[in-house]
Structure 1
Amino acid sequence: MSPPRPGAWAVEVPAGYRVGGWEVTGGIATGSWGSVYDARWVGAGADGLPARAALKFLPTGTVTSRQLSHLAAMAGREVRFHRGGAHERLIRCYDTLVVDDPQAPALDGAAVIVMERARGSLADLMREHAGRPLPDAAALVTQVCEGIAYMHGNGWIHGDLKPANVLLMDDGSVRLADFGLTAEIEGTHGYLPPIGSSGYLPPEYWTESLGERGIAVRTTSDIWALGVLAYQAFTGDFPFPGAGQRAWALAAAQYVRTRAEVPVPDTVPEAWRSIIRDCLAPTHGERARHPAAELLARMRQQPAPRASRVPRRLVAAGAAALILATAGTATAVTVSRRDDRPDAAPSPSFAGDELLKRGVGIPEQYRPLIVAAGTMCDAEGLNPPLIAAMLKVESNFDPDLSDPAKDEYGIARWTPSVLAGYLPGTPPAVPPKPPFPPEMSIPPMGRLLCFQADKLKSVPGDPGLLLAAAYRSSATSVIQARGISPKWRRYTSEVARYRALYTP
């Protein structure tokens, strides 16, 4: 995984910066609340320290008071856990430091955790095997469960288990990482701030009340996340349909309401199918009957099978999945429909009804792509009905639209030079040439709108319609007009009309 572009880091640390005896050499990865950098030891007397390590910077000086309270608590939890937790399945912590540098206000006071350097993450591995099972799925999931069982046995809940927080070492072994949302168990539960990766949170999380100490979480939240992760490792797919964390959370909620059994493919060995189903039991009470230690014992009884290879599904939604997997999303997983035919009727388990109304003229074959684009990020105003409404107004869902006079083509009316910047991977040296099929045109809409949303946060007005106006013109134009200019009001009025029609 390539590092984020400059300016995208939660904490900007220049190469050559010194913290204690460590010198930063380059960036590794960043998240919403902290950034990880590669570093080498340049101090005197290593005292058993490695030549290279990963430095995790958690800021404290350049955020709002509310963010500061969250960050201070997260940094404190992570440092406290690292000082008290030592296990072969947990990333090793060598030291904890605090930056003392008044000349660098953005860094001054930041907590720094010095950790062993990993070669990658389970998310990276899943990207490499997009749409396919992992060859060592059983061994990898068992090692993850070893770490979770150790944490639960010692009174801790991880709270943010997902592929990006499972690190892979040079010898192929697994380490759990990112303990900023780790909670100490008090009786039957702990408390965490309302932060996390919604695609890996259990259904009951969304009905928990938010108190002064945060949201109550239990060990069974980690069990649910383990089930999601195991399903991904064994199948190359996500257990619930949709694209993006909000869509998965809605699908999981529908699953709980209907009490439908999670369909685990027959390519997964029966014993592992049983384990995954137990992890994904719909209620806390049912999952509580299968603690991590019991699940680990069952896993260790199973042979380590060679994961079966399955065909890659290069239908419309499969193409959208590949685009999403390389579009810089927080966690890279494959999204696919459970049918190979683009014109097939949707599976009864497909949760499109939760996100996009049926029977209102939206072509069925484009629904997965629209859901993928509309749930690509958590930007305010971005949702599948908005994407569908924009497509209706832009082209009346015409995949073959061609307007050379305006240099706009395809269902989303892309200008080739603009589309080039929102395709997955490095932008091509030469803009793509039309035609632009829907699977190429629709997902980049979500990527562009996610990018524009950050720029429009301070602009007054309906967030979704501001995004639509920015799509038609530019974010700069919307900012300069302090809203929707008269030129685009007819367009956004039409988008608003269809958005209302398409909203469930």
Structure 2
Amino acid sequence: METPPAAGRYRIDRMLGTGGFATVWLGHDDELDSPVAIKILADHWAQRSDVRERFVQEARLLRQVDSHQLVQVFDIGELDDGRPYFVMSYADRGTLEERLAAGPLPLSEALGAAQAIARGVQALHSRDIVHRDLKPSNVLIRSTAGGERFMISDLGIARTGDRISSLTMPAGSPGYMAPEQAQIDGAPDARADVFGLGALTYHMLTGEPPGTPARPPSELQNTVPHTIDAVVLRALDQDRERRWPTASEFAGALSQTLGRTDTDPVFPPAKPTVSDQKASGKRRRKVWLYAGAGVAVLALAGGGTAMALQGGDDGANGIPANGDPHGRLLRTNTDIPKKYRSLIIEAGSWCDQKGMSPALIAAMLKAESGFNPTLADPQKDEYGIARWTPKILVFWQPGGLNNPEPTPAQITPELSIPAMGRYMCYWGKDLKGVPGDPALNLAATYRSSSKKVVQAHGVPAKWKAYTDKVHQYIEDYQP
């Protein structure tokens, strides 16, 4: 196929992929100096008004939903020969299908991706859109400042509004589509996408799509906790009345189940244990109890991969790329090292968590290490500017368990500061309704655990002196 030289003002460099209806090309926006993906309707379909309208409708739907967990559309137009095209996010790390070709994902990445994808599906459902074709090739992966972002693509067979309940022809992909999608007039609703989410999650956990009936994921991968089996298998129930009613409830069930493993370890002994943590002298960051289900590492979904708690990427939360020189998010006339400001702002803006802020991150770094990037406390097994323990940081670093456990010398500010944001965004959800200052409750969670803060109805007495320091520093750093 001959490469078109351009699509409007966008230069076209090479083909990324082709399908039955359209071809996707790698392009470049010279005005903004940014790579883009350009989807062009195939010439043999361009004269079909119904196909053409469906193609344009896909672009409109993606633009209307405008979620970071969906491919985002920036522009639309026509080539000189009349073929329509639209310009969208470029996924520089390929598709989930390509990644799964190497086998199942690490548990932390699989769970982070599942929750990130579920948020995208819920964003569609909030607009009365049912995707109907959730599968690995329709999940794209893009690198971000915080790690990675998982993005849903291809709304070519999506159903919208009252069309959901009208006559529906069979559509979807074997292995991932709900049984009702194989029926004429099966009228798939949001629960069909819940099935697709379950199938995607199953594939990420086990390395293969589910069969019929689906075996528990833990039978195929012993790193999967049995408590996850029930959540995933309910999503895959053949009877849609028994599935999770919504994508967000599916994601919430994953999160709640992981929380329950806090007191019931179910992973192989090769993983860090409670005794390991006691030996390190710091009981915070109990993530090893669910073998790295650091869903906040997205970077997912994440992280992570990006998690479920994805912020700090591409300015998604209004993070200034120049380190906030005017002090909108963090005071400038303080002892905060200039070279760490952007990292602190990124971490403090990772999610919309009550009490979370760049000032809190800066205050905690001051209390932890006095901003000393080379801090080393071997007796407590804590290192770096944020006093991380290597065997715990491995779960919250960019990429999670995709990357090896860092050595003390590798625990740089670039690694450890963003991990603070991921950690507190994930565990902060457990603090809802806990009395006291939300910021100080987060700080105490970082030093102990969310469970201890909930049990103490606020900052535990053991960490009161620490949070008093944090409070003082917050006042110094808050704009």
TM-score, normalised with respect to structure 2? 0.49
Higher relative CO (CA 8 A, sep ≥ 6), structure 1 or 2? 2
TM-score, normalised with respect to structure 1? 0.47
